[in-house]
Amino acid sequence: MSDANLIIFLSTISTGLILGSIFALVAVGVTIVYGSIWMPNAANGQFFVLAALLGWTMTVSWGIHPAIAAILVIGVSVPLSYGLEYILVRRFYDVPNRNISYFVLSLGITQILTGIFAATYGRWSDQFQLPPLVSGITFIGPLPVANNRLMVLALALSILAALFALLRYHRYGRAIRAVFQNRDAAALRGVNVKASYSLSFALGNAVIFAGGILFALAYSFDLTVAWTMSITAFAIMIIGGPGSVLGAVIVGMVFGFTQAAVSTVASPTIAAFSYLGAMLLILLFKPSGLFAR
Amino acid sequence: MTPVTEKKDLSLLAKGHGLPLACFAVVAFATPFLLSGNRYFAFVAGVTMIHILWASGMNLLYGYTGLMPLMFAGLAGISAYTVVGLTASGWSFWLALPVGALAASISGIILGLPSLRLKGFYFTLCSLVIQTVVTLGFIYFSGLTNGDTGISQIPLPSMGGGQPLSGLAYDLVLSAAAVIGVIVLIVIVKSTLGRRLIAIREDDELAGMLGINVTGYKMIAFFIGSLFAGVGGALYAPYIGFISPRSFDVLISMNIWLMVAFGGRGTIWGPVIGAILLAPLSFLLQEYYTVKDILYGLLIIAVIVLMPAGIAGGFLRKKKESAPPLDVPATPRGAK
Amino acid sequence: MTHRKSLLAVLATATLASAGIGHAQEKPPVKIGFVTELTGAWSFFGTSCVAGLKMAEKTLNPPGKRKIEFVIADDQTSPAQAVAASRSLDVQDKVLALSGPTSSDTGLAVYGYAEQNKVPFVVPVAAFPQLTKPGTRYTFRLEPDAVGWGYAISKFVEKQKPGGKIAMIYSDYALMRAITAGIKYQAPRSGLKIVADIAFPQGSNDATVQAAQILAATPDFVMVSGAGGFDNTITNQLLDLGIKPEQIIHPFGITTQVMNWGKRSVGSYYGTFFDSNLDSLTPEGKTFVEEFTAQYDRPPSYGENFCYVTANVIREVIDANPEAADDREKFRDAMSALKTKEKTSGIPIEFDKNGARMEYMYFLQMKEVTAKTYKAKQAFYIEWDPEVIPVYTLVK
Amino acid sequence: MNDILLDVKAVSKRFGGVAALKGIDLVQHRGETLGMIGPNGSGKTTFVNVISGHTKPNSGTVSFDGRSVSGTNPFQIAKAGLTRTYQAVRVFGELTVRENVATALVDARDAASQEAVAEIADWLRITHRFDKPAGSLTLMEQRQVELLMRLVQKPKLMMLDEPVGGLSSAEVRTMIGVLSELKGRCTIFVIEHTMKVIRELADKVVVLMAGEKLAEGPPAQILADQRVIDKYLGTADA
């Protein structure tokens, strides 16, 4: 393999990993919320962008170090989630067909955030960039990779791993998973279903926020990222099987690699069509998703 | 004491819609005349009429069949692009319109196929992605659609005698389309077709068990619903004079759907009211552009929290609850 | 480019303006409808444009002159809304002319309305060629068209490195496609070779792999043009992989972009039509830059400038042709005959039969980026006739 | 009783690696009430799902009323005159009983007349609930609505999946009465855990055990069968 080809090959892998792990984070956040409280949160993209914008304000306007800003941003999501849960989300816990109610609700939230962003950040710039977490370049073979990207990748993978550990081994995580599987059965087994709902809502959003701030650290962004991310996260969730964290991670990674790899043999536009096409095929032939519980 | 027959049922319900339909028709046809002094308000009313047509089509799918297709605007776009393309190559608009509407219907059937395998909200999410693909397609196949640049200066359809259909005449055509759309919806809903669709909405497995061809009727619903989308799209293009992928993107789909949900799904008049209230909003709130999105969002949340079944739904439910009980004492029959 | 009234127009600026004073005070203000993007995806450009317009309004209505009033309407970055807003301004506000949109599709939507309804339309910033396609009568555009930018980029590369190799990496938007159409047309004629042509679909996030492909193609120059935040991502990822800043040409650079490219991009080139670093700024141009910077905390770019100039051009036309203030046809004719200069940079403004401007472009090289501003140096300037290449057939 | 209504040959169904049905053969004659018993998870509901077309079998054939219905859709099977109920009661809850009935009528092959509907409704004693949303009725009433919706379609075979599940003992008695009268209206196939129902209604009993047919015969004989007692009746909730 010539040097040039090796660089293309290695960059495909690095891009697939970074993009995939960020997609996976957001999709996991969405799937946790959908799996537990049946809320297809269309505002996930706006939350994602909100995290990125808050990170931008903290680092660029206030001069906070990006690492601290990242932690603060994820921290901010918790009171925000609990507030939303308290004011709006919990009203629908027992509504039949609540996924539709939630969808409408999240569209309302989307509109409000869109309006706020347009009236504030939208007037300041059409693109936003955070300072890097770390500087410098590391060579992986012939491929130079910015240390900042490697750091983002490491963080994204650690958060995913921590999430897995939480859901598998911690009692909160087990409670959430029990409610995922069967809310009534979980209640019978002594799980506090309502508490687990608010916990999953907060956890899911925290993961989305983490995805948003990591994205902002790895890439420049603008306000239009919100919708793209919403649709992508939904697509990943559907293919992976709603409520399946493993599915979201695997399919998120596949999406990342598809975007990176297909474009080496065809155009990037074909890459976009290809994963949406894959989604339709899966829906038609295995509608419960690849990793349905 | 005898169970009311299908026929009696029909006349009873049709009677229930006769008066509102008459009122609606009068308002729809009077509006262009009343607003003819102000082309802007007349234009907003015309756009509202197209949305009434769209909302009625969406209502057939979402309100009556229980399918929530967020690629609805994409279907309208397919028709609009077809009609604009055909008229540009010399077709008469009035010939192109049915072809475009048919193109939307056939696309609707094809893009609706996932609804056969996917239930409820799953299909909605799927259709959201389909809409995204359709929008990407509009951009990508720029040879046919002129990409995201859009097509401008779309000529007005011609009336008899080579005169362009403009102003009041066009507005009246739109009013007629809206009124016909609502009438078609009423006829469908009151027919056995409507009953089958409602059964599918309520429980498609049970409906199949009762002998209803669920697959077939879902496809029929898609065909008709997409026809509404298509006719609306075809009329929209020359009326606005410009189309681009953004004219038919996911936000438009959601807006149309919101009109149905807001007004009250599964009622004839709810979505009409929803369209009348929401379609002009973005035009009339022009001066409050900074808070417009926020207001819109708050409105959506208020409706879903306070009136989850929509305006008409909330109203009807209250009426139902306050009505005296309809219990009739059972005929005493000898015990076994 | 010669028009019956061109001489008259020039003279009018100096002499006839004072003649109208006596009547002007009694007449109602001249309304100009300004349809632009205040919300939606393009809101930054619309808002910036309005900021430029507001700067002009400070001195636009000196006592004694007929008042010009801009009625601003939001089009939500949506063509349908742009048409609705145009109609509203035309019918409700009875504006003399329309202006404002900064994106191609809203611009084209207003264009369609303006041409169909015979409303003069002055386009400050929208580069899509079709806005001045043959047969256009009521539309006049200040910004050079994007296919022409491609022509200018090829000419620039031809001068920098004869026989050079160009790579193109861009988002799949109408604007970018138009630019690349111009490059593709002109490059072989300038003896250049295009070695890579990579388009990203809207909503792309990462360009590393494509940057590696660019690297593999060993170009002399890379034309980079992403949409929104992605523009910066592409630039950074090219630099990450070892493309030199000196190899990068951005077809256009506005202040926020240049600031975001940042220090690591120093040495790279960008095209523009007005920049705070231009050598040719007039005293009024310098004042505009200073005042704008003081108010908005960043120097203005060509977008703000074109909107500023638009207001001045309309002032000038009305001063010179008082009868045009109340008659759309006369206003159109006066615009068509206009022969003037941008007050800020001294660049001539005159329109051809289709309303396209006699075109020009600067290429600047980034020299320094500081916290609030940046320095750049003019590297190339070119003027051309709008139809030096077949712009209207290259992009439909 | 030689007229075969339902003829099932070697039907097998696997879900993933689990065999839910292993080569079931079964014959039901016209007018013969067939009871199916077996422990939970033995494949009874899967069997009904396969017959009614809701689940496609991996192998085997089903013929109904002399015609093969293998591989056809539920609605075609329903139109052929085979109807069923569900283990969990299933009505159009938002619609009134009247609308439920009207829905059942629209695609019936030869729908009952107005008078016939009234007669069936009166017989089921549900007429007074006609304008109530079906979802607001008691479980027993909803079961009655289920029967009404099927009967107006004049089915040839009605497959009942645990028709007394969840009912009180008084209601069970009433339901047994209804079902024994139902035998006069169509052929019945009934899945039940409640042996009383089987004992009083069935002419023939099939015992299903882990997807296989363990035994088949008259109720008295089957309920006394040592294998059945050992493997099912002795252990289960019978």
Question: How far is it, in rounded angstroms, from Cα D66 to Cα A95?
Answer: 47
pLDDT band at C8 (very low <50, low <70, confident <90, very high): very low
Q: Are residues C68 and C131 both part of a single domain?
A: yes
pLDDT tens digits for range D166-195: 889 899 999 999 999 998 889 999 998 888
Report yes or no on D107 lying in a domain.
no
Alpha helices in chain A (DSSP H): 3-37, 44-56, 66-87, 98-119, 121-124, 147-169, 171-181, 183-188, 193-218, 225-240, 245-265, 268-285
A 10 A CB-CB count for B322 gives 7
pLDDT of B281 reads: 85
B293 CA: distance to closest CA in chain C (Å): 9
Single-letter residue type at B85: G
Q: Are residues C259 and C294 both part of a single domain?
A: no
* C81 pLDDT higher than 60: yes
Q: What DSSP string describes B59-120?
A: IIIIIIS----TTHHHHHHHHHHHHHHHHHTT--HHHHHHHHHHHHHHHHHHHTTHHHH--H
Parallel, antiparallel, or unpaired: how do β-strands C221-225 and C248-250 relate? parallel
Question: How far is it, in rounded angstroms, from Cα B169 to Cα C51?
Answer: 41
Single-letter residue type at C227: A
* B326 pLDDT higher than 70: no
| D114, containing H or E segment | helix D114-124
Q: Are residues C196 and C128 both part of a single domain?
A: no
Average pLDDT over residues A260-283: 70
* D16 pLDDT higher than 80: no
Question: How far is it, in rounded angstroms, from Cα A7 to Cα D190?
Answer: 69
* B323 pLDDT higher than 50: no
CB A97 within 8 A of CB A169: no
Report yes or no on D170 lying in a domain.
no
Question: How far is it, in rounded angstroms, from Cα D33 to Cα D159?
Answer: 10
Question: How far is it, in rounded angstroms, from Cα C104 to Cα C146?
Answer: 10
CB A55 within 8 A of CB A130: yes
* B169 pLDDT higher than 80: yes
pLDDT of C4 reads: 42
Single-letter residue type at C207: A
pLDDT of D111 reads: 64
Single-letter residue type at C178: A
pLDDT of C21 reads: 47
Contact call for B152 and C172, based on CB within 8 A? no
| B296, containing H or E segment | helix B289-306
pLDDT band at B333 (very low <50, low <70, confident <90, very high): very low
C136: tokens are 């256009």
* A238 pLDDT higher than 60: yes
* C1 pLDDT higher than 50: no
Chains C and D in direct contact, meaning 3 or more beta-carbon pairs closer than 8 angstroms: no
Contact call for C241 and A15, based on CB within 8 A? no
Number of domains present in the structure of chain C: 2
* C316 pLDDT higher than 90: yes
Q: Tell me A130's DSSP state.
A: P
In C, minimum Cα distance to A127 occurs at C229
Domain containing D238 equals 1-74+158-163+189-238
Task: Count CA atoms within 13 Å of residue D210 on its CB side.
Answer: 4
Contact call for B117 and A119, based on CB within 8 A? no
Contact list, D177 vs chain B (CB under 8 Å): 336
pLDDT tens digits for range B71-89: 999 999 999 999 999 999 9
| Helices B93-111 + B72-88 axis angle, to 10 | 150
Average pLDDT over residues C200-210: 85
pLDDT band at B4 (very low <50, low <70, confident <90, very high): very low
Report yes or no on D36 lying in a domain.
yes
* D108 pLDDT higher than 80: no
Average pLDDT over residues B35-47: 89
D230 CA: distance to closest CA in chain B (Å): 36
Single-letter residue type at B83: V
Contact call for C39 and A122, based on CB within 8 A? yes
Domain containing C236 equals 146-272+361-394
Average pLDDT over residues C346-373: 92
Choose the closest CB to B121 out of A40, A110, A283: A40
B86: tokens are 């055909």
* C19 pLDDT higher than 60: no
Report yes or no on C1 lying in a domain.
no
Question: How far is it, in rounded angstroms, from Cα D81 to Cα A95?
Answer: 37
A228: tokens are 């793209």
pLDDT of A5 reads: 86
Q: Are residues C248 and C380 both part of a single domain?
A: yes
ipTM: 0.83
Contact call for C73 and B40, based on CB within 8 A? no
pLDDT of C22 reads: 46
pLDDT band at C375 (very low <50, low <70, confident <90, very high): very high
Question: How far is it, in rounded angstroms, from Cα B123 to Cα B145?
Answer: 27
* C24 pLDDT higher than 70: no
* C307 pLDDT higher than 80: yes
In chain D, the percentage of residues whose pLDDT exceeds 90 is 35
Average pLDDT over residues B196-206: 91
pLDDT band at D94 (very low <50, low <70, confident <90, very high): confident
- Mean of the per-residue pLDDT values of chain B: 84
CB C241 within 8 A of CB A144: yes
pLDDT band at B335 (very low <50, low <70, confident <90, very high): very low
pLDDT of B165 reads: 84
Interface of C with B in 53-92 (CB under 8 A): 73-74, 76-85, 87-88, 90-92
Sheet containing strand C97-99, strands side by side: C68-74, C30-36, C97-99, C121-123, C139-141
Q: Nearest-CA neighbor of A84 among C126, B301, C271, B269?
A: B301
In chain B, the percentage of residues whose pLDDT exceeds 90 is 47
In chain B, the percentage of residues whose pLDDT exceeds 70 is 88
Question: How far is it, in rounded angstroms, from Cα D32 to Cα D19?
Answer: 29
pLDDT of A266 reads: 65
| B17, containing H or E segment | helix B6-34
Choose the closest CB to A4 out of C45, C215, C257: C215
Interface of C with A in 216-245 (CB under 8 A): 216, 227-233, 236, 240-242
pLDDT band at C118 (very low <50, low <70, confident <90, very high): very high
For D7, phi then psi, to 5°, come to: -130, 110
Question: How far is it, in rounded angstroms, from Cα D209 to Cα D41?
Answer: 8
Average pLDDT over residues B295-320: 73
Question: How far is it, in rounded angstroms, from Cα B260 to Cα A5?
Answer: 54
**b/e per residue, C13-48, with b = 16+ CB within 10 A?**
beeebeebeeebeeeeebbbbbbbbbbbbbbbbbbb
Question: How far is it, in rounded angstroms, from Cα B100 to Cα B231?
Answer: 8
Of B10-14, B295-299, B318-322, C142-146, which one has max mean pLDDT? Answer: C142-146
Interface of A with B in 54-93 (CB under 8 A): 88, 91
Chains B and D in direct contact, meaning 3 or more beta-carbon pairs closer than 8 angstroms: yes
Number of domains present in the structure of chain D: 1
pLDDT of B148 reads: 79
Q: Are residues C118 and C266 both part of a single domain?
A: no
* A127 pLDDT higher than 50: yes
pLDDT tens digits for range B215-251: 999 999 999 999 999 999 999 999 988 898 888 988 8
Average pLDDT over residues B83-111: 95
- Optimal mutation site among C39, C104, C106, C108, interface B, most CBs of chain B within 10 A: C108
| Helices C302-320 + C43-60 axis angle, to 10 | 40
**Whether A126 contacts chain C with CB within 8 A:** yes
CB B76 within 8 A of CB B104: yes
For B157, phi then psi, to 5°, come to: -65, 155
pLDDT band at B159 (very low <50, low <70, confident <90, very high): confident
* C245 pLDDT higher than 50: yes
Question: How far is it, in rounded angstroms, from Cα B298 to Cα B262?
Answer: 13
Interface of A with B in 210-239 (CB under 8 A): 227, 231, 234-235, 237-238
In B, minimum Cα distance to C86 occurs at B40
Report yes or no on D201 lying in a domain.
yes
Domain B6-249 bears CATH identifier 1.10.3470 = yes
Q: Which residues pair with C98 in a beta bridge?
A: C33, C121
pLDDT band at B322 (very low <50, low <70, confident <90, very high): very low
CATH number, domain with residue C241: 3.40.50.2300
pLDDT band at A118 (very low <50, low <70, confident <90, very high): confident
pLDDT of C330 reads: 95
CATH number, domain with residue D206: 3.40.50.300
pLDDT tens digits for range A144-171: 999 999 999 999 999 999 999 998 888 8
> What torsion, rounded to 10 degrees, do the Cα atoms C38, C40, C44, C46 define?
-40
D82: tokens are 């085979």
Report yes or no on C249 lying in a domain.
yes
Sequence-ordered list of residues with C-beta below 8 angstroms from that of A20, at least 6 positions apart, any chain: A252, A253, A254, A255, A256, A257
* B330 pLDDT higher than 70: no
C136 CA: distance to closest CA in chain B (Å): 11
Q: Nearest-CA neighbor of A28 among A271, A200, A272?
A: A200
Q: Nearest-CA neighbor of C232 among C258, C255, C195?
A: C258
B270 CA: distance to closest CA in chain C (Å): 25
Average pLDDT over residues A199-213: 95
What radius of gyration do chain C's Cα atoms show? 21
Q: pTM for the whole thing?
A: 0.86
HEC secondary structure over chain C: CCCCCHHHHHHHHHCHHHHHHHHHCCCCCEEEEEEECCCCCCHHHHHHHHHHHHHHHHHHCCCCCCCEEEEEEECCCCHHHHHHHHHHHHHCCCCCEEECCCCHHHHHHHHHHHHHHCCCEEECCCCCHHHHCCCCCCEEECCCCHHHHHHHHHHHHHHHCCCCEEEEEEECCHHHHHHHHHHHHHHHHCCCEEEEEEEECCCCCCCHHHHHHHHHCCCCEEEEECCCHHHHHHHHHHHHCCCCHHHEEECCCCHHHHHHHCHHHCCCEEEECCECCCCCCCHHHHHHHHHHHHHHCCCCEHHHHHHHHHHHHHHHHHHHCHHHHHCHHHHHHHHHHCEEECCCCCCEEEECCCCCECEEEEEEEEEEECCCCEEEEEEEEEEECCCCCCHHHHCC
pLDDT of B303 reads: 80
CA quadruple C311, C142, C166, C382: dihedral positive or negative? negative
Question: How far is it, in rounded angstroms, from Cα A218 to Cα A112?
Answer: 27
Q: Tell me D22's DSSP state.
A: E
